[in-house]
Structure 1
Amino acid sequence: MKRDDTADGLTPDGAAAPDDETLALAHELFQAARDGNAGLIGTYLSAGAPAGLTTASGDSLVMLAAYHGHAETVRLILAHGGDANAANDRGQTPLAGAVFKGYTEVARELLAAGADPDAGTPSARAAAQMFARVDVLALLD
């Protein structure tokens, strides 16, 4: 979610810029994903918060939870419609992030949800080979 402080209050795509309260909530959800706070995220997602919410650099809730090793939180976000293949602005996917960090259980959750091991730059498969993550490589084949 990007904020644009232009005079007309619109983002570059013409949408209304979010207000401070909405931005604060988004930041709270991003931090909850990083922290693995499944309870808080579950409450907001059940109330209608978008599972596809992204930071200004394109990191989704799934990406943040995956990169920080929170399998339960990843599963929860995916169950509410999060995208296992959503790449950030650098072309990195949640699966590649989990592989890079060595989070095998997170990788299992993402693969079960249809994550593509060959998507992204570098791909999860390439990251597993690069960092000799043999346990994850076995899952990818």
Structure 2
Amino acid sequence: MELEPEMLIHASRIGNIDVLKELIKGKAKLDVHDPKGYTPLIIACYNNQYEAAKILIEHGANINATDAGGNTALMGAAFKGYPDIAELLINNGADLNLQHGNGGTALMFATMFGRNDMVKLLLLHGADASICDSRGLRATDLAAQQGNQEAIQLLSA
């Protein structure tokens, strides 16, 4: 079916579990990319669709797949501040320390956007705060740039 990838991406975005299950039953490829490079799992996570993400993971979606910029589902969850989705990803093997095209990590996203619950969660699971992005900046530097004192304290503990 020609529309299958678009249907899969759309169902993931809006959390349409029935459509997802039907597409999966029909052997849809779960790691397709839309024109921006997003996979259904990245889309589900970015849009806070926990159940959709869970179903995609259970049926073999690549947890560490990246979009065109090198961003992962975990980076999207960190950017948006969805700890439950991050926990789901981490518990299913998401790499905490993958870096996107500019060297940023999920931890860096969390510190830059004041998602301090995410900072705590990522550190608890072993995220590496010493990683530098392409400018040589660490998560602590990015937190300082944003005036995120709580993240600085968490990263220094």
TM over 0.5: yes
Structure 2 Cα separation of the partners of residues 98 and 46 of structure 1? 27
Separation (CA, whole Å) in 2 of partners of 1:52 and 1:25: 12
Matches within 5 A, 1:1-141: 21-22=1-2, 24-121=3-100, 122-141=104-123
Segments of 4+ moved more than 3 angstroms: none
Secondary structure of 1:63's aligned partner: helix
C-alpha RMSD of the superposition: 1.2
The CA deviation at 1:34 is 0.6
Cα offset, 1:132, TM superposition: 2.2
- 1:15 corresponds to: none
Query: 1:18-42: per-residue Cα shift (whole Å, max 9, x none)?
Result: xxx41x2221111111101122112
Unaligned runs of 5+ in 2: 124-157
Which has the bigger relative contact order, CA under 8 A and spacing at least 6?
Answer: 1
Distance 1:58 1:120 in 2: 16
My pick for the range that moved more, 116-125 or 70-79, is 116-125
Q: What count of residue pairs does the alignment treat as equivalent? A: 120
Gaps of 5+ in 1: 1-20
- What percentage of aligned pairs have identical amino acids? 30
Q: Does the 8 Å contact 2:4/2:23 carry over to 1?
A: no
